Structure 1
Amino acid sequence: MFRHTKRLQFEARPERPDPVYARKLQELIGGAYGEMTVTMQYLFQGWNCRVEGKYKDLLMDTATEEIGHVEMLATMVARLLEGAPSTVLAESVKDPVMAAVLGGMDPQQAIVAGGGALPNNSQGVPWNGGYIIASGNLLADFRANAAAEAQGRLQTARLYNMTDDPGVREMLRFNLARDTVHQKQWLKAIEELESDGLETPIVPNAYLDEENQDHNHTIWGLSDGTDGPKGGWSKGKDGLEYLTDPQPLGGPGTAPAPDPALYGTYSATQDAIGTVKGKAQAKAKKATGK
């Protein structure tokens, strides 16, 4: 059950209208790393969580907070759009929608939302449920959450530098602080999952003995340069081995002949060549045991 309190989590009142900035702020509402994404991500992770107690509570607490962030931003967008499309532009263009375009605001804010916020990003692209991650594995999900909060804070910081409005900046300072807390909490929750013995660093911690042991510790050096092996990931007892000249391990990627009814272009000769090469490579591999 959710309840709505008729007060904002933090004040969202600009000093003056700014329809151009209102459009920019839409990214923090309906962008891939906006507040709608983390709201729905944490809600579905919480609803799908099979571990009652502290982890589920953390997810639901944070998800509910993020709903409030959507409300704050939507309120700020509406207030930034006050009086838009601007009277001056509307006078000259004689069309408020065209005035909105020339004024830099999203015309859908005028056409669809009546001068309010939308569940869209800064380009007017609708929010997509495909942005969210809710896998059922808490370690994988918490890592995704920390990354989402980092991306969200990065975008908030960029938007902070795009305005000098004291009221907008005051709200964004609050948002920056909450994104800081959320990054910290997910990183600590990751540590606790491991210390509680619920998860180990590799997700999932299954099939570690069955996976190909020849290929679970090598980094394929497939780009120019020689600095990759200098990283800390190549050092120590758990270091990974850098392959400086990795070679392909499979045969030609020849697709099989298409169904005749599909009328795909097909060369029987080429297919035969691919098949012969593939069989020869398989035979050689079997003979050498590699």
Structure 2
Amino acid sequence: MWYYNKKLQYPVKVRECNPHLALFLIEQYGGADGELSAALRYLNQRYSIPDKVVGLLNDIGTEEFAHLEMIATMIYKLTKDATAEQMDAAGLGGRYTDHGHALFPENTHRTPWTAAYIQAKGDPIADLYEDIAAEEKARATYQWIINLSDDPELNDSLKFLREREVVHSMRFREAVEILKEDRDKKTFF
């Protein structure tokens, strides 16, 4: 059971309307390596992973939904005052004609989110390596968005998200080591 705290995990401030920057953030909203994909991947994988690490997948999967909420807030704040012309100039014209200023899970190329973005092998170690890769790809994407942004307030929130990806990667690495010991002792597989 989840309890919703009606505040963001970390404050999101945006200096000014910037649909061009929102375009890049859309990747983290509905792209293959974005927050929605991560949340669903981890919460799905937890059903076929040993009890020793199931809580980790539950905790990180839940936190990824909090990250999704932060990204949604960023996109909304960056586009809410944008005109149709500004949206079009930023490469969001087609998105605007389909959704206006509403959020929609898709990547920067307008490909809608798909369950094909999430992986679940059923082998705990293989799944955790997939999770490590997902966290490292998200970390890299956040860094690249920071490199493209000139908004120091938004970058503060993006740096928070980037660092959380690092922490998640480290936690998944620790889980791999725990499960490798069990595999060597033949306690699962």
Task: Please tell me whether the aligned partners of residues 149 and 179 of structure 1 are also in contact (alpha carbons under 8 angstroms).
Answer: yes
2:19 corresponding residue in structure 1: 19
1:183 corresponding residue in structure 2: 169
Structure 2 counterpart of 1:58, from 56, 59, 64: 56
Cα deviations by residue, 1:165-196 (Å, 9 ceiling, x for unpaired): 01210011101110110111111111110123
* Residues 117-136 of structure 1: pairs in structure 2 closer than 5 A: 117-136=103-122
Task: Please tell me whether the aligned partners of residues 75 and 117 of structure 1 are also in contact (alpha carbons under 8 angstroms).
Answer: no
2:80 corresponding residue in structure 1: 82
Task: Note the C-alpha offset of 1:45.
Answer: 0.5
State the distance in 2 between where 1:107 and 1:180 align. 34
Cα deviations by residue, 1:14-38 (Å, 9 ceiling, x for unpaired): 1111011101110111111111111
Identity of aligned residues (%): 31
Pair 1:69 & 2:56 matched: no
Task: Note the C-alpha offset of 1:161.
Answer: 0.3
State the distance in 2 between where 1:182 and 1:99 align. 36
* Residues 3-14 of structure 1: pairs in structure 2 closer than 5 A: 3-14=3-14
1:100 corresponding residue in structure 2: 87
State the distance in 2 between where 1:136 and 1:198 align. 18
State the distance in 1 between where 2:86 and 2:70 align. 26
1:163 corresponding residue in structure 2: 149
Unaligned ranges ≥5, structure 2: none
State the distance in 2 between where 1:108 and 1:7 align. 31
Task: Please tell me whether the aligned partners of residues 14 and 80 of structure 1 are also in contact (alpha carbons under 8 angstroms).
Answer: yes
Structure 2 counterpart of 1:195, from 163, 166, 181: 181
**Amino acid across the alignment from 1:6:** K
Task: Please tell me whether the aligned partners of residues 152 and 179 of structure 1 are also in contact (alpha carbons under 8 angstroms).
Answer: yes
Cα deviations by residue, 1:75-127 (Å, 9 ceiling, x for unpaired): 11000003112xxxxxxxxxx3x5532x2141354334331332011121111
**Amino acid across the alignment from 1:82:** K
Which one has more relative contact order, counting CA pairs under 8 Å at least 6 apart? 2
Cα deviations by residue, 1:29-66 (Å, 9 ceiling, x for unpaired): 111111111111001001x23533x3110000000000
TM-score w.r.t. the length of structure 2 is 0.91
Unaligned ranges ≥5, structure 1: 86-95, 206-290
Kindly report the root-mean-square deviation, in angstroms, between the aligned alpha carbons of the 2 structures: 2.0
1:212 corresponding residue in structure 2: none
Structure ranking higher in helix proportion: 2
**Amino acid across the alignment from 1:194:** K
Task: Please tell me whether the aligned partners of residues 19 and 86 of structure 2 are also in contact (alpha carbons under 8 angstroms).
Answer: no
Cα deviations by residue, 1:226-279 (Å, 9 ceiling, x for unpaired): xxxxxxxxxxxxxxxxxxxxxxxxxxxxxxxxxxxxxxxxxxxxxxxxxxxxxx
Task: Note the C-alpha offset of 1:199.
Answer: 7.9
TM-score w.r.t. the length of structure 1 is 0.61
Q: What secondary structure sits across from 1:145 in the alignment?
A: helix
Q: What secondary structure sits across from 1:61 in the alignment?
A: helix
1:278 corresponding residue in structure 2: none
Q: What secondary structure sits across from 2:45 in the alignment?
A: helix
Q: What secondary structure sits across from 1:197 in the alignment?
A: helix
